[in-house]
Amino acid sequence: MTDLEIANLTTPAPIREIAEKLSIAEEELEYYGKYKAKLPLTLINEAQIAQSNLILVTAITPTPAGEGKTTTTIGLVDALNQIGKKSTAVIREPSLGPVFGIKGGAAGGGRSQVIPMEDINLHFTGDFSAIEKANNLLAVLIDNNMQSKKRSLQLDPRKVLWKRTLDMNDRALRNIVLGLGGTNGGIPRESGFNITAASEVMAILCQSKSISDLKERFANIYIGDTLSGQAIFARDLNAQGAMAALMKEAIKPNLVQTLEHNPAIIHGGPFANIAQGTNSILATKIGMSLSDYVVTEGGFGSDLGAEKFLNIKCREAQIAPKAIVLVATIRALKYHGGQTLKELEIENTEALERGFANLDGHLAALKSFGVPVVISINVFSSDTDAEKSLLLDYCEKQGIPAAISEGWAKGGLGCIELAQKVVETTEQNDSKELNFTYQLEDSPFTKIEKVAKKIYGADSVVLTNAAKNKLKRFEELGYSNLPICIAKTQKSLSDDEKKLGRPQGFEVQIRDFEIAAGAGFIIPIAGEILRMPGLPLVPAAELIDIEEDGTITGLF
């Protein structure tokens, strides 16, 4: 059965019943149909947040299909509730790009899903549309100002950094020329589109703590320079008020449910290879205000999602996880041990053992933060008893608690042991402090160097001349004390996607820098990172259809 078919076997509970489990009064809900609701920001309670247990789910370096972080997150939440722990999942919203591209639906899998699956994957409550419109409003205001004879800020068309967005994989829009059509068609210049998840507006939403904070961050967006070299910001176009108005509803997190009718809050969806890769601060804080345990996730492997969650989000929100769940799969470990993707269902204990090096790399990185780790072995039907025993024995020798996770096949029941080990770990952790990888007072280069060495395992960092010049500009603008959000491949611990396992003796090359002044971080760019993906040879979109009665098929 497909994930969609499994999801359709469960009739969702009315969302008011899910809200009751969190002691949310019905009058505080903003209904989006029977099974979805927006939550007011007034639910945030800092005193309750201090008492809640935050659990971060991350993963080893993934295979192209991913290793099941969301499935593990949902299964763990259901299991925690089964053993009597009031628990809520707080996760990201899916982007239509991957939904119609290679991954299909992104709301968990099997018996560990959030529902209504079709709604969550297709438009949901319109948050992505609002982000897209706010982003494109700023783009329109920029071009309108450049066209104006009376109010022009004298922006240099060659130095406008702001691009339009579209929540779709559309490679044809990566690089375009706009403003054609004569004097009334605007100023001709090169530009392009980013996918909505890569927009700074998305990053800002997920870093904001209130509407006023959102508006201030919008005002601080750096859009480019004038012909004389003066920096221009969104506030110079008076854009922040209208942009924030478009986000009036989108800033509120969304309440849905798991297949086992436990609460799930979904909000925001930045990618982790080009942004911070985690849901909003607001959603996490609402979850922590209402639950004893909140399980959340960071995108891709721990070198991306977890590093950014801990160094960027936790620093800004002043929160810290009590435990980290590191999702590992036998298939991914065999892949890092040299087995080809086509042969991952074949037993190979030698490749599995070689792949342990990748697991070690992620464990070393996570231990540097001072947060205890529990390994979740997300199993597949092709995993053999010999392979599972070998991995469990290895974890035991490393002194790291580990549990088999069968959330896909069994839901919460398949994650009971994992839940018990997570509870034991959190109860033994009295620390509320994180060992950040770097200090904000460090120079940007020092921050990059510390992340590259401590998290990736690199020997050194080198900047291209173009990157040095860009960084010098951002330092002149006063951004040296911002956190860093390194954009790199998710396919390797290094910046080279071909280096599997645990690469040794490599340098990280930063070829360029971008600034997300509104979101509040510098973006060093390692390698070629696409902000507008393309569709694969056979897009998932070709399998999706709708019946006469409105039933959607083909999501997986």
DSSP labels, 33-90: SSS-EE--GGG--HHHHHHSEEEEEEESSPPTT---HHHHHHHHHHHHHHTT--EEEE
8 A C-beta contact, residue 414 and residue 379? no
| pLDDT classification of 555: cutoffs 50, 70, 90 | confident
Reduce the DSSP state of residue 104 to 3 states and report it.
Answer: coil
- How far apart are the two ends of the chain, measured CA to CA in Å? 10
Q: What is the pTM of this model?
A: 0.95
pLDDT value for 5: 85
d(CA 326, CA 425): 13
d(CA 367, CA 352): 22
For the cut 80, the answer to whether the pLDDT of residue 105 exceeds it is no
E strand intervals along 87-228? 87-91, 108-109, 112-115, 164-166, 176-178, 189-191, 193-195, 222-225
For the cut 90, the answer to whether the pLDDT of residue 188 exceeds it is yes
For the cut 70, the answer to whether the pLDDT of residue 382 exceeds it is yes
For the cut 80, the answer to whether the pLDDT of residue 34 exceeds it is yes
Asked whether the bond before 94 is cis by omega within 30 degrees of 0, the reply is no
Across 159-171, average pLDDT:
96
- CA 62, 68, 70, 74 dihedral sign is negative
User: What's the pLDDT tens digit per position in 223-266?
Assistant: 999 999 999 999 999 999 999 999 999 999 999 999 999 999 99
- If you ran DSSP here, which 8-state letter would residue 130 be given? H
Token code pair at residue 61:
């370096």
- If you ran DSSP here, which 8-state letter would residue 535 be given? -
pLDDT value for 85: 97
8 A C-beta contact, residue 202 and residue 131? yes
pLDDT value for 433: 85
Vertex 160: Cα angle to 154 and 165 (nearest 5): 135
Across 4-14, average pLDDT:
90
- CA 148, 149, 153, 156 dihedral sign is positive
- Cα Rg, the chain, nearest whole Å: 23
pLDDT value for 529: 84
CA neighbor of 445 nearest in space, from 506, 365, 513? 513
Residues annotated as catalytic are 69, 71, 92, 103, 272, 300, 380, 408
Q: Do the annotations mark residue 67 as ligand-binding? A: yes
pLDDT value for 36: 97
CA neighbor of 165 nearest in space, from 125, 208, 207, 198? 198
d(CA 492, CA 508): 12
Domains of the chain: 3-125+251-428 (3.40.50.300), 127-247 (3.30.1510.10), 444-525 (3.10.410.10)
| pLDDT classification of 4: cutoffs 50, 70, 90 | confident
Token code pair at residue 369:
């933060």
pLDDT value for 28: 97
pLDDT value for 432: 76
Note the maximum CA span of the chain: 75
Q: Do the annotations mark residue 520 as ligand-binding? A: no
**Range name among 30-39, 291-300, 428-437, 498-507 with the lowest pLDDT average:** 428-437
Token code pair at residue 154:
């004298």
User: What's the pLDDT tens digit per position in 43-92?
Assistant: 999 999 999 999 999 999 998 878 899 999 999 999 999 999 999 999 99
Residue with tokens 């854009």: 239
Q: Do the annotations mark residue 69 as ligand-binding? A: yes
User: What's the pLDDT tens digit per position in 449-501?
Assistant: 999 999 999 999 999 999 999 999 999 999 999 999 999 999 999 999 999 99
- If you ran DSSP here, which 8-state letter would residue 521 be given? E
CA neighbor of 163 nearest in space, from 129, 131, 192, 134? 192
CA distances from 74 to 173, 257, 259 (A): 35, 10, 9
Vertex 120: Cα angle to 34 and 194 (nearest 5): 140
pLDDT value for 103: 67
For the cut 70, the answer to whether the pLDDT of residue 122 exceeds it is yes
For the cut 90, the answer to whether the pLDDT of residue 446 exceeds it is yes
d(CA 331, CA 382): 9
The partner residues of 487 in beta bridges, in order of sequence, read 525
Residue 16: CB partners within 8 Å, gap ≥ 6?
26, 29, 37
Mean of the per-residue pLDDT values of the chain: 95
d(CA 139, CA 108): 34
pLDDT value for 65: 77
Q: Do the annotations mark residue 66 as ligand-binding? A: yes
